[in-house]
Chain A
Amino acid sequence: MKKWIKWWLFVVIFLLLGIAYGWKEYNRTQKSTFDIDVFASTTATSLVKEFEVDETSANKKYNDKVISVKGIIQSIELTDSTQRIILKGETGGVIGELEKSERKKTAVLKAGDSLILKGVCTGFLMDVILVRTIIVNQ
């Protein structure tokens, strides 16, 4: 094979690989919380306290990280087709916005039950908010 053909073949393959990678990256969806290791495990009470004491530090520590939070269910809410579980804190609580796959698990849960949630921390308003949350134990 002539040298210039080899060279062009290399360039075409390189470009095709680049396009394939770009396309895959562009269409990438969020990784499931099931497949991400837990960054930290804590309780609802101590997590809320950390945010109340120093929100900036707690944001740096927990935001965008997958954490597992143990607590007592304060309420289970269905709002705008989203299922949320709220764990009690002393003042605020921890709101877990559940993954769609977790909805059926809430049927057997009730206020007062102990529960561990695993989700991605997004910060603190009146409560700490976890998104893409899954139920670890029941």
Chain B
Amino acid sequence: MKKVYLIAIGIILVFICNAQNRLITKAATISFYSKAPMENIEATNKSGISVIDKNTGQLEFSVLLKGFNFERALMQEHFNENYVESDQFPKAGFKGKITDQTKVNFAKDAIYNVPITGILTLHGVSKEITTTAATITIRNGITEGEAAFNINVADFNIKIPSIVKDKIAKTVKITVKATYQTL
């Protein structure tokens, strides 16, 4: 019986240790921006989920495409119905890694530049992306993350109607900002 208790305690301790190594937020701000002759396209989603494992540098975020808020309703409808087809593909996500997480001391206040590489899944297509425009900021013990990267919409099988093909940018800048808490 003692053995059973010891094993149970061991499992609980491992679980607690693992949980403490993970940082999470359910309020990551994910925005995108594209500049084009016809119109700039800009939208923000403030309810993204993001998780960082402090030990391994594994990093994930996930977002609901219907949660992106545009200034114009028509633009939001076109985004969901014609471009990302959010009824069919409701989520976008990223699974990746801080290339060298040993550079980040989560116990010391500082701003750390952290190149990130991973797989972005959008519109049912997964593609590897890398960015050097990413930072982890430790401020008063709180971890904040920020990353930006550009994607080509054609890489994700997002078709731009031929009538507006030359008037809408083919590259979109995606920015992620998050303030994390211990899981």
Contact = CB atoms under 8 A, between A and B. Distances in A.
A79 B44 CA distance: 14
Contacts of B26: 95, 125-127
Interface residues of B, number: 24
B179 interface: yes
A43 interface: no
Contact of B90 (A30, A31, A63, A126): A63
A95 B64 CA distance: 13
Interface in A60-85: 60, 63-64, 77, 79-80, 82, 84
Interface size class of A (residues with CB under 8 A): 20 to 34
A97 B66 CA distance: 13
Contacts of B71: 29
The DSSP consensus for interface residues of chain B is: strand
Interface string B56-86: 0000001110110101111010000000001
A77 B29 CA distance: 14
A25 B77 CA distance: 12
Given A125-B49, A125-B91, A28 B64 contact: no
Nearest to B71: A29
A138 to B, nearest CB: 23
A33 interface: no
Nearest to A124: B64
A34 to B, nearest CB: 16
A62 to B, nearest CB: 11
B182 to A, nearest CB: 16
Contact of A97 (B46, B90, B177, B179): B46
A124 B67 CA distance: 10
Nearest to A121: B66
A129 B73 contact: no
A131 interface: yes
